[in-house]
């Protein structure tokens, strides 16, 4: 199967990053969201990121121009998905929302379209059940920031075909990524480990073991992590981290119970970098 057209749904941090690397790979890419403001912001992100890439000699001016020519935006999922060869769902980790998006796309996409979800926790078998094409559904889990992080986790559902995995793997490689194939289990590999480390860091902050800055510094320099767990939680979004932990707590048990501090921060609207205030405070 030859991939030419990619539809990405959800213009948040992950969706815009996925659309960026898809367009850079040469795919005709359409980013879909219900918010015009989010789409405009995502396109500006693409332009700014290409300029930074040129300055750092990671991209040529020709590559940047081609990327922006390949990238389009739309608020009309039903229309856009009619020409999609690969559909990537990157909306927030809310089952009802994912169900609505997957069902809508399934009703309007061609029979050959491969469906992938960027979920970090939800079962691909469950996601496939929202469609009438379960052999063509899998998880394609990217990492933030998408244009820098080299990994894609590919997770098969119960009925996912080997051909679907092969198509997603080829697309990932064309986007400049390395892949791992993971058997279906809550949290896959990376989300389980990241959630545990981040949640423990929040418990330590709550208990006064050390400041946020020193917890992050200790993990970066002592354990050789590229980013501290509290910095990462702010980057991912504390609401997204809380949703993931609630799901893992429900499916894997007590060790994933969210730290009370995390619940307090989310209730206070301190969601991380996207709200300019989370564990840390950020410039507007």
Cα separation, 16 vs 271, in Å, equals 19
> What would the pLDDT profile of 206-218 be if each residue is shown by its tens digit?
999 999 999 999 9
**What pLDDT, on the 0 to 100 scale, is given for residue 145?**
86
CA atoms within 13 A on the CB side of 64: 19
* H or E segment and range at residue 194: helix 190-207
> What would the pLDDT profile of 235-272 be if each residue is shown by its tens digit?
889 998 998 899 899 989 999 999 999 999 999 999 99
The DSSP code for 127 is H
The mean of the pLDDT values for the chain is 95
CA atoms within 13 A on the CB side of 25: 21
Residue 1 pLDDT greater than 80, yes or no: no
Q: Computed from CA positions of residues 53, 59, 60, 65, in that sequence, does the dihedral angle turn out positive or negative?
A: negative
**What pLDDT, on the 0 to 100 scale, is given for residue 127?**
96
> What would the pLDDT profile of 162-208 be if each residue is shown by its tens digit?
999 999 999 999 999 999 999 888 888 988 999 999 999 999 999 99
**What pLDDT, on the 0 to 100 scale, is given for residue 17?**
97
**What pLDDT, on the 0 to 100 scale, is given for residue 169?**
97
Closest CA to 87 of 120, 71, 110: 110
**Predicted confidence band at 150 (pLDDT cuts at 50, 70, 90)?**
very high
**Predicted confidence band at 122 (pLDDT cuts at 50, 70, 90)?**
confident
Cα separation, 241 vs 181, in Å, equals 23
> What would the pLDDT profile of 79-108 be if each residue is shown by its tens digit?
999 999 999 999 988 889 999 999 999 999
Average pLDDT for 52-64: 95
């Amino acid at each position: 199967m030859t991939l030419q057209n990619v539809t990405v749904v959800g213009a948040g941090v992950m969706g815009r990053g996925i659309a960026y690397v898809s367009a850079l790979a040469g795919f005709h890419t359409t980013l879909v969201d219900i918010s015009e403001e989010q789409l405009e912001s995502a396109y500006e992100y693409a332009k700014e990121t290409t300029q930074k890439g040129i300055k750092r000699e990671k991209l040529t001016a020709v590559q940047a121009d081609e990327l922006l020519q390949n990238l389009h935006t739309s608020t009309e999922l039903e229309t856009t998905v009619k020409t999609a060869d690969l559909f990537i769902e990157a909306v927030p980790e809310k089952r009802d929302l994912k169900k609505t998006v997957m069902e809508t796309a399934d009703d309007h996409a061609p029979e050959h379209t491969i469906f992938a979800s960027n979920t970090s926790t939800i079962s691909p078998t469950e996601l496939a059940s929202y469609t009438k094409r379960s052999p063509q559904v899998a998880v394609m889990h990217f990492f933030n920031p998408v244009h820098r992080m080299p990994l894609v986790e590919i997770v098969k559902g119960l009925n996912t075909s080997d051909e679907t995995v092969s198509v997603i793997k080829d697309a990932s490689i064309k986007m400049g990524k390395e892949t791992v194939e993971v058997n279906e289990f809550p949290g896959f590999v990376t989300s389980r480990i990241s959630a545990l480390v981040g949640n423990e860091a929040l418990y330590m902050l709550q208990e006064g073991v050390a400041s946020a800055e020193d917890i992050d510094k200790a993990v970066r320099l002592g354990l050789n992590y590229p980013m501290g767990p509290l910095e990462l939680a702010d980057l991912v979004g504390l609401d997204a981290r809380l949703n993931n932990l609630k799901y893992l707590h429900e499916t894997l048990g007590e060790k994933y119970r969210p730290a009370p501090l995390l619940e307090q921060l989310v209730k206070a609207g301190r969601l991380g970098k996207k709200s300019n205030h989370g564990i840390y405070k950020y410039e507007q």
